[in-house]
Amino acid sequence: MSERTMTGAEMVLAALADNGVDTVFGYPGGAVLPIYDAMFQQNRIRHVLVRQEGGAVHAAEGYARSTGKVGCVLVTSGPGATNAVTGLLDAQMDSIPLVCITGQVPTHLIGNDAFQEADTTGITRPCTKHNYLVKDIAKLADTLHEAFHVAKSGRPGPVLVDLPKDIQFATGTYRSPDEVSFSYRPPHEPDPAAVEKAVAMLAQAERPLFYTGGGVINAGPKASELLIELVRMTGFPCTSTLMGLGAFPASDKHFLGMLGMHGSYEANLATHGCDLLVCVGARFDDRVTGKVSAFSPGSKKIHIDIDASSINKNVRVDLPVVGDAGRVLQNMIDVWKAKQYKPKAEALAAWWRQIDGWRARNCFAYRRGDPVIKPQYALERLRAAIAGRDDVYITTEVGQHQMWAAQFLPFDKPNRWMTSGGLGTMGYGLPAAIGVQMAHPGATVIDVAGEASILMNIQEMSTAIQYRLPVKVFIMNNRWMGMVRQWQELLHGGRYSESYTEALPDFVKLAEAFGAVGLRAETTDQLDQAIADMLAVDRTVILDVAVEQTENCFPMIPGGAAHNEMLLGPEDHASTDPTAREEGMVLV
Amino acid sequence: MSDGQPIERHTFAVLVANEPGVLARVIGLFSGRGYNIESLTVAEVDRERGRSRITLVTSGTRMVIDQIKAQLERLVPIHRVRDLTEEGPFVGRELALVKVVGESGKRGDVLRIAEGFGARIVDSSESSFVFEVTESTEKVDQFLALMAGLGKLEVARTGIVALSRGAKGIEGE
């Protein structure tokens, strides 16, 4: 009885519901009117009306990242689809499972330069995991089910289904997902021999390090628990990429903080000095490795990844293990126990002594300001205000504030930290926060923002108001595009080309104009009260924190440098070798 | 990533779903990631199962070649990727149509060379021939080099199609 006759538009809603979707982020238009009409006549799926299609995709990313489910987007043809492109690529780079349904002009008009026509599958081919143009109602149901299957299987990613308007009106037979078999079957179970070899390498290591990434979070909360078990069992130190924060608890003594360009001194020196680097669900991205030829030069490397194409892409590794991070970690724990392996206690103790020496350097220290608020201080006070709470979700925009948030806010659980890592999309944080809040109505959701980034999708304030979402926008306002300014200072002779915003809005009045609460803190003595007010108010709120304008984000590995050439603070950069500086300048 | 590593040329056989956009995905992968395509052929080979076969010749360092294989395998409508160069002996052939236009005094030389390469005459006029030659790329190149001395050439080539030697097929059976 699962086969039913219905229109294409009705099939879309049936398929979404059958694939577990309860919330769709979207924006209507001519080419999706039949779907919106079907939406109107049902109540299984909520629709969140954003204010620009780009916001819909980031909201779906926030929803997906904070729940582990597939995020869902519905937009119209032409500009609806092209506005979604940035978000799709963002999800592709950060492996976020999404299904995006786009309207298309009727099949007989495709290729005619019709009104609001775009070659959507052509445009989005390189920024989706896969995409479909459905030109036959008989294939619609199976295609929609396959889209969800592809989005969440293997390495997750965004999948787009382009749906001409005549197919939405056409009538056909619907069947449910359990009646469809899929040919796409990426590997999941690791090779047992590779796992055994990996565990033997752990037991042999004298200066080991776990380097974990977003893949652990994508493998589900169980994978994070297994990671904790394996790390504690071996007693090895653990560092994380930006995308992996929360997979391993920041409060655990084995955690060294984030590695990479703005990572901790101890994490980067441990990466440089280790003799075994165990990469779990990360991809040796250039923000992590710095100069590839000098990256972790003395180590054997194990790379655990579900995507075989991530292995040996940037860095040559000694042992690849292809499989789901959770499965691999489970098997590693089993082998470690079965073979009764023990870590090399003496060597490991010496390694920890070395790491503790690096830790003692206290690399995130900064000069306190008064009454001027240092951005790091603002985050320390925010951290204190949310300490011990399990229901706090943080999103960010992109730039200095994002790196400071990664350095100063501790995450003890997965799915609590939503940030645009690979693509680095300014404007991500506010719509992502909306998606998170839709998924977790009672939680505290804070978008840590800069004043430049927030303006890129500020229109989504209106969405937050419409759905009464008490999202908190915490703006660290230094009046500069801070990271651009920092690079101009360090690499371009202090020529601050176009990085200062001359005409910022009054964010308090802006919040009020949208119908939200606006708060401001300009001096250190106002900060704690302002944060308390922000957290207490049960409405959408912007807190505009005026921070030190010229503060730079340290530590920093300059472009083209190695991990042991890290700049620790403002006093360091005079010593940068000018030839290395030129080499670094061409990198981004 | 080419630091010091030698450049290798590899021939890939790729079995794909015969669906719209699949060739664009493969070509987009190569252009987007900066890989070379030296030759690419594609045609349907199994109508019943809707499969097309792409033969692709590319070059790069070892790391790039491995990466190309892994990236191809990741595409959803790709069923099988074989690095024929890596996996053992294979036969590769391409077909060229070669128009030779020249003086009548050289027709004898032209025909003698054609015979030596097993080229078939598929068209002729008072001042021209069109030959069909099916050979390895190197042989076709030699044929063209010899003919170039005897007249003005116009050439159409298919690029390589290839199969592994022996009983083993692309599906591994």
**What is the SS3 string spanning A27-91?**
CCCHHHHHHHHHHHCCCCCEEEECCCHHHHHHHHHHHHHHHCCCEEEEECCCHHHHHHHHHHHHH
- Average pLDDT of chain A is 95
Q: Which residues of B touch A292 (CB under 8 A)?
A: 1
pLDDT band at A572 (very low <50, low <70, confident <90, very high): confident
pLDDT band at A188 (very low <50, low <70, confident <90, very high): confident
Q: Taking a C-beta distance cutoff of 8 angstroms, is the pair A228, A334 a contact? A: no
What pLDDT sits at residue A93?
98
Tokens of A555: 């530590």
Residue B103 has pLDDT above 90, yes or no: no
Q: Do B74 and A307 touch (CB under 8 A)?
A: yes
pLDDT tens per residue, range A302-312: 999 999 999 99
- Average pLDDT of chain B is 94
Touching check for A309 and chain B: CB below 8 Å?
yes
Is the N-terminal amide bond of B20 cis, ω within 30° of 0?
no
The C-alpha atoms of residue A551 and residue A570 are separated, in whole angstroms, by: 9
- A104 catalytic per annotation: no
Q: Taking a C-beta distance cutoff of 8 angstroms, is the pair B91, B165 a contact? A: yes
Q: Kindly give, in sequence order, each residue whose CB lies less than 8 Å from that of residue B156, ignoring residues fewer than 6 positions away.
A: B96, B97
Cβ atoms within 10 A of the Cβ of A27, count? 24
Q: Do B3 and A293 touch (CB under 8 A)?
A: yes
Q: Which of B67, B76, B78 to mutate to test the interface with A (most CBs of A within 10 A)?
A: B76
Start-end of CATH 3.40.50.1220 domains in chain A? 192-359
Nearest-CA residue of chain B relative to A184? B76
β-sheet bridge partners, residue A576: none
More confident residue, A100 or B1: A100
Q: Do A308 and B73 touch (CB under 8 A)?
A: yes
pLDDT tens per residue, range B124-171: 999 999 999 999 999 999 999 999 999 999 999 999 999 999 999 998
pLDDT band at A1 (very low <50, low <70, confident <90, very high): very low
Touching check for A322 and chain B: CB below 8 Å?
no
Q: Which of A93, A99, A125 to mutate to test the interface with B (most CBs of B within 10 A)?
A: A125
Name the active-site residue from A53, A460, A548, A551: A53
A58-73: string of b/e by CB count within 10 Å (b at 16+)?
Answer: bbbbbbbbbbbbbbbb
Residue A254 has pLDDT above 70, yes or no: yes
> How far off is chain A from B162, nearest CA to CA, in Å?
25
The C-alpha atoms of residue A158 and residue A128 are separated, in whole angstroms, by: 5
Tokens of A370: 């008064």
The C-alpha atoms of residue A378 and residue A370 are separated, in whole angstroms, by: 12
> How far off is chain B from A503, nearest CA to CA, in Å?
38
Residue among A432, A220, A211 nearest A326 (CA): A220
Residue among A404, A406, A465 nearest A437 (CA): A465
Q: Which residues of A touch B3 (CB under 8 A)?
A: 293
Q: Which residues of A touch B79 (CB under 8 A)?
A: 183
Tokens of A381: 């006070």
Q: Taking a C-beta distance cutoff of 8 angstroms, is the pair A412, A380 a contact? A: no
CA dihedral B56, B60, B66, B69 (to 10 degrees): -20
Torsion A32-A37-A38-A44 (CA) sign = positive
The C-alpha atoms of residue A283 and residue A304 are separated, in whole angstroms, by: 9
Cβ atoms within 10 A of the Cβ of A192, count? 11
Q: Report domain A375-546's class.
A: alpha beta
- Across the A:B interface, residue pairs with CB atoms under 8 Å apart total 38
Residue A587 has pLDDT above 90, yes or no: no
Angle at A11 between CA A6 and CA A12, to 5 degrees: 155
Q: Do A125 and B74 touch (CB under 8 A)?
A: no
Residue A43 has pLDDT above 60, yes or no: yes
pLDDT tens per residue, range A155-177: 999 999 999 999 999 999 999 99
What pLDDT sits at residue A575?
45
- A53 catalytic per annotation: yes
Touching check for A316 and chain B: CB below 8 Å?
yes
pLDDT tens per residue, range A367-378: 988 899 999 999
CA distances from A412 to A75, A215, A252, A365, A552 (A): 35, 16, 8, 22, 27
Q: Do B25 and A125 touch (CB under 8 A)?
A: yes
Start-end of CATH 3.40.50.970 domains in chain A? 4-179, 375-546
Residue among A257, A241, A45 nearest A249 (CA): A257
Q: Taking a C-beta distance cutoff of 8 angstroms, is the pair A576, A567 a contact? A: yes
What pLDDT sits at residue B3?
61
Residue type (1 letter), A170: A
Nearest-CA residue of chain B relative to A125? B25
What pLDDT sits at residue B1?
46
Q: Which of A153, A160, A309 to mutate to test the interface with B (most CBs of B within 10 A)?
A: A309
What pLDDT sits at residue A579?
53
Touching check for B134 and chain A: CB below 8 Å?
no
Touching check for B171 and chain A: CB below 8 Å?
no
Residue A115 has pLDDT above 50, yes or no: yes
Torsion A143-A145-A146-A147 (CA) sign = positive
Instruction: Enumerate helices (H) and strands (E) in chain A, giving the number of each.
Output: 23, 20
Q: Do A184 and B76 touch (CB under 8 A)?
A: yes
Q: Which residues of B touch A182 (CB under 8 A)?
A: none
Whether domain A4-179 has CATH 3.40.50.970: yes
Instruction: For residue B117, give the DSSP letter.
Output: T
Q: Taking a C-beta distance cutoff of 8 angstroms, is the pair A265, A358 a contact? A: yes
> How far off is chain A from B57, nearest CA to CA, in Å?
19
pLDDT band at A508 (very low <50, low <70, confident <90, very high): very high
Residue A218 has pLDDT above 60, yes or no: yes
Q: Taking a C-beta distance cutoff of 8 angstroms, is the pair A416, A41 a contact? A: no
Nearest-CA residue of chain B relative to A149? B76
Instruction: For residue A257, give the DSSP letter.
Output: E
Q: Do A311 and B70 touch (CB under 8 A)?
A: yes
The C-alpha atoms of residue A271 and residue B63 are separated, in whole angstroms, by: 23
Q: Which 3 state secondary structure label does DSSP give A244?
A: coil
pLDDT band at A583 (very low <50, low <70, confident <90, very high): low
Residue A3 has pLDDT above 70, yes or no: no
> How far off is chain A from B70, nearest CA to CA, in Å?
5
Q: Which residues of A touch B28 (CB under 8 A)?
A: 125-126
User: Averaged over B73-85, what is the pLDDT?
Assistant: 96
Q: Report domain A192-359's class.
A: alpha beta
When CB atoms are compared, the residue of A126, A184, A309 closest to B32 is: A126
- Phi–psi pair at A88, nearest 5 degrees: -65, -45
User: Averaged over A46-50, what is the pLDDT?
Assistant: 98
Touching check for B33 and chain A: CB below 8 Å?
no
Name the active-site residue from A3, A115, A182, A582: A115
Q: Do A125 and B63 touch (CB under 8 A)?
A: no
CA dihedral A108, A112, A118, A120 (to 10 degrees): 50
Residue A98 has pLDDT above 70, yes or no: yes
Q: Which residues of A touch B78 (CB under 8 A)?
A: none
Q: Do A313 and B21 touch (CB under 8 A)?
A: no
Nearest-CA residue of chain B relative to A120? B21
pLDDT tens per residue, range A298-355: 999 999 999 999 999 999 999 999 999 999 999 999 999 999 999 999 999 999 999 9
> How far off is chain A from B26, nearest CA to CA, in Å?
10
Q: Do B67 and A121 touch (CB under 8 A)?
A: no
Residue A574 has pLDDT above 60, yes or no: no
- A483 catalytic per annotation: yes
What pLDDT sits at residue A81?
98
User: Averaged over A100-120, what is the pLDDT?
Assistant: 97
User: Which residues, numbered 114 to 143 in chain A, qualify as contacts with chain B under a Cβ-Cβ cut-off of 8 Å?
Assistant: 121-122, 125-126, 129-131, 133
Q: Taking a C-beta distance cutoff of 8 angstroms, is the pair A289, A315 a contact? A: yes
Residue A582 has pLDDT above 70, yes or no: no
pLDDT tens per residue, range A62-77: 999 999 999 999 999 9
What pLDDT sits at residue A216?
98
pLDDT tens per residue, range A264-296: 999 999 999 999 999 999 999 999 999 999 999
Touching check for B76 and chain A: CB below 8 Å?
yes
When CB atoms are compared, the residue of A121, A184, A313 closest to B21 is: A121
Residue among A429, A479, A369, A406 nearest A66 (CA): A429
Residue among A64, A7, A61, A65 nearest A35 (CA): A7
Nearest-CA residue of chain A relative to B78? A184
Name the active-site residue from A129, A152, A165, A472: A165
Q: Maximum distance among all alpha carbons in chain A?
A: 74
Q: Which residues of A touch B67 (CB under 8 A)?
A: 309, 312-313
Domains of chain B: 8-88 (3.30.70.260), 91-161 (3.30.70.1150)
Residue A220 has pLDDT above 80, yes or no: yes
CA distances from A354 to A239, A271, A349, A579 (A): 15, 12, 9, 31
pLDDT tens per residue, range A255-265: 999 999 999 99
CA dihedral A322, A327, A330, A333 (to 10 degrees): -10
- A460 alpha carbon, distance to own chain's centre: 19
Burial of A204 (0-12, 13-18, 19+ CB in 10 A): middle
